[in-house]
Structure 1
């Protein structure tokens, strides 16, 4: 069974996208090689749902974070090697010798570059092999979780013919016959073994990039539990992409699996919900999370409704788009999957009375699903009073602190339901009413 998350949730949490400003992917994209970037893409798109697999991956990342290793490879040589061995062929030794000889002659007679590129590819391969063997030996000597993988690579490079390549002095001119024999080994006979070595280099690249981010940002690694535990316990959880982000604690469990979040606009409700969703997603790919510590039971998917927009092409109003989104969430929940569901300011596209009734009804309905974790935010605080009879709903809010006539936001979560009602005060502070009146007087005077 695969982890489910749709495009809207991915976009709302800004998880993926190499060129998307402020994306979580962009935060971790410190890889140095093309293979590393390809592997990073795969990891980001394939969250795990087995606790053992998640904890094994986090153990590897933790090992690299603590080891603080330097990337030992020349990225340009790795790139040249990849292009060289990817152009493998199925020729026999005699055909390879003929092709190399032809390229050599053409390079002398017509200044053809193909023989030069062949030599450069072979040299880059040999040098990368040397560095990989030395690095794999270093990792093999440790007792870390990456030791078996490193031993696998040292065994591959211990192949007699690859060992012969490791002994080659790349600065010493090779004969045509030697060049052809090594070219045949690298691009034909032992090509699968060298492709595996490149995969190892890509893995090291990603492991070091992720470890670097964890160290620079002070991130930690979450511990995964089976889905039936149905809990999320995080300390100082914060948004990973915001500098000086404010962290908060969160605990959800079977008997308290619903968070009803209130607070004024701009108090930080949406950012807090995004922090939770991002943290849960990163935990499922085994990446470090922006928290002091975190333990979670695996989810089978994440479903969010934070920035729902109208859909003109389908004729959807904003309100109807919200309704469709809630229906999709209900369908996903009804499957019995263990999900994390987050709804920010439900039904803000309709009148206050309908928004109240809808928010109350939807929260009551989702609260019945004890196998899911559910977070709903609203500034219609009266809904909270109507929900106080539910034992599995916990009430939290983002406070507003008044400094004179100006509201300030702490972004620190507190228990209970907010009593903040500063909307009209903000409107007055901005001078909106006076502006409207003055414009009306100007228009009256002109007439």
Structure 2
């Protein structure tokens, strides 16, 4: 990833969506999506991966470049074992950050005196300098060997510019002093001269080498996560917005039930119904997570996946009120819809997922608000929406929305004593009403009736006397 990325190239993804998708934090004991993908070895590599996950691509070209780099790494994984060891990387990082005497004296005599002072009076500093210089030399030698591998010639995507920058930095004249063998046997004078070269004259170069190494480490981590989780490479499409997927599932589930996704300009709204626990929210999360991973340039959990990149990804799944700011639950819902509306009004390519919106108001308001929003969303070209709801009465009006709404549902299997869920997406609108059955299954009415009977029995005079 270039350090000079244009914001135009980046996907708009706000803090609420990041929280909804559990990208960096999870409300449960499970790891975050970052932890799920993090296979880096160093703190710096993990920091670069985190930066990438904070800034997914919106540009088809940038996504393709990352895909090509990850694909190349996956096919030639052994080559990337030649990257510097964690010892060399962390040792160099500590060397550059540690506060050590600076012997940047232009006068040769003063440099000699300063070197003697370090060696005689500050032996702990001297040994830190030796360790750091040795680690830096190991880093440089490892990177030399790495970029010299003939298999890296013509590496595609992001790798090409990264390797080109590495070769240019490693060919700097000052680095010719770094030998192709360990410098541990060098004397004090020679070692301090090397330290002056590495930590003073070429410090910025070393910092840049480290940054490029971290970029490579992050790409390798993404490739390893793809392999470990058996993700498939999405197909990037052009033209009007669309997403088509088969066998999509949420990567956190151990035995997931896979489902399709189909959204395009003929059916730009998916209206999702079904009882609680049937799979609506999981389906929304699975789709949003796959779209997010696809915009990172990573693989996705599906059998097939093709998409046109978007500019904004919004989710509205786990809203809460804000007592400190005086924001009620319904106000929070309204503000979330407003954020989506503002991006849509700017004619940006928007994908928005709303899980049972307008729960914070009465049924009549929720119905009218849902219908009004769906009517307006259905007219917006180059935008796609998923909208889950218990407002099944909306079905009587959805056919009026220019056939832009695709109705799908999940259902509960009601055979047997308890409800069973198969988590299969079906065509149409659910008319299941299971609230009373769930309450009966949990024995809530029986508990309340028993308590009422006990209270009634003990209200008799003879019970009170006894």
TM-based fold match above 0.5: yes
Cα displacement (A) at 1:377: 0.3
Where do 1:221-370 residues align within 5 Å? 221-226=233-238, 228-370=239-381
Where do 1:92-107 residues align within 5 Å? 92=105, 94=108, 97-107=112-122
Cα displacement (A) at 1:267: 0.8
For 1:414, the equivalent position in structure 2 comes to 426
Deviations 1:161-219 (A, max 9, x none): 423313343342x1222112211211122223322321222122112211111111001
**C-alpha distance in 1 between matches for 2:374 and 2:172:** 63
2:134 is the alignment partner of 1:119? no
Deviations 1:53-100 (A, max 9, x none): 111011111211222335443213311111213459682454555433
Q: TM-score, normalised by structure 1?
A: 0.91
Check conservation: 1:257, 1:392, Cα contact below 8 A.
yes
Partner-residue secondary structure (3-state), 2:419: strand
For 2:464, the equivalent position in structure 1 comes to none
Q: TM-score, normalised by structure 2?
A: 0.88
Check conservation: 1:129, 1:166, Cα contact below 8 A.
no
Partner-residue secondary structure (3-state), 1:295: strand
Q: Assess, with a 3 A threshold, how the Cα gap between structure 1 residues 148 and 345 changes in structure 2: closer, same or farther.
A: closer
2:438 is the alignment partner of 1:426? yes
For 1:209, the equivalent position in structure 2 comes to 221
Partner-residue secondary structure (3-state), 1:91: coil
Cα displacement (A) at 1:322: 1.9
Partner-residue secondary structure (3-state), 1:113: helix
For 1:16, the equivalent position in structure 2 comes to 24
2:211 to 187, 199, 211: 199
1:404 to 411, 416, 419: 416
Cα displacement (A) at 1:301: 0.9
Check conservation: 2:103, 2:115, Cα contact below 8 A.
no
**C-alpha distance in 1 between matches for 2:331 and 2:220:** 46
Partner-residue secondary structure (3-state), 1:233: strand
2:174 is the alignment partner of 1:166? no
User: Which moves more between the two structures, 409-418 or 139-148?
Assistant: 139-148
Unaligned runs of 5+ in 2: 1-7, 460-466
Structure 1 outlier segments of 4+, above 6 Å: none
Q: Assess, with a 3 A threshold, how the Cα gap between structure 1 residues 44 and 141 changes in structure 2: closer, same or farther.
A: closer
User: Which moves more between the two structures, 372-381 or 401-410?
Assistant: 401-410
**C-alpha distance in 2 between matches for 1:298 and 1:181:** 52
Partner-residue secondary structure (3-state), 2:178: helix
**C-alpha distance in 1 between matches for 2:420 and 2:113:** 78
Deviations 1:418-440 (A, max 9, x none): 23222222221111111111111
Partner-residue secondary structure (3-state), 2:245: strand
Check conservation: 1:140, 1:148, Cα contact below 8 A.
no
Check conservation: 1:367, 1:392, Cα contact below 8 A.
yes
**C-alpha distance in 2 between matches for 1:71 and 1:436:** 65
User: Which moves more between the two structures, 416-425 or 202-211?
Assistant: 416-425
Check conservation: 1:4, 1:301, Cα contact below 8 A.
yes
Check conservation: 1:24, 1:240, Cα contact below 8 A.
no
2:394 is the alignment partner of 1:383? yes
Partner-residue secondary structure (3-state), 2:299: coil
**C-alpha distance in 2 between matches for 1:47 and 1:178:** 46
For 1:154, the equivalent position in structure 2 comes to 167
Cα displacement (A) at 1:19: 10
2:74 is the alignment partner of 1:61? no
Q: Assess, with a 3 A threshold, how the Cα gap between structure 1 residues 90 and 331 changes in structure 2: closer, same or farther.
A: farther
**C-alpha distance in 2 between matches for 1:249 and 1:97:** 73
Cα displacement (A) at 1:273: 0.8
Q: Assess, with a 3 A threshold, how the Cα gap between structure 1 residues 101 and 246 changes in structure 2: closer, same or farther.
A: farther
User: Which moves more between the two structures, 375-384 or 159-168?
Assistant: 159-168
Unaligned runs of 5+ in 1: none
Cα displacement (A) at 1:381: 1.6
CA RMSD of aligned residues (A): 2.4
**C-alpha distance in 1 between matches for 2:176 and 2:212:** 18
For 2:197, the equivalent position in structure 1 comes to 185
**C-alpha distance in 2 between matches for 1:18 and 1:383:** 34
Cα displacement (A) at 1:309: 1.4
* Count of residues paired in the alignment: 441
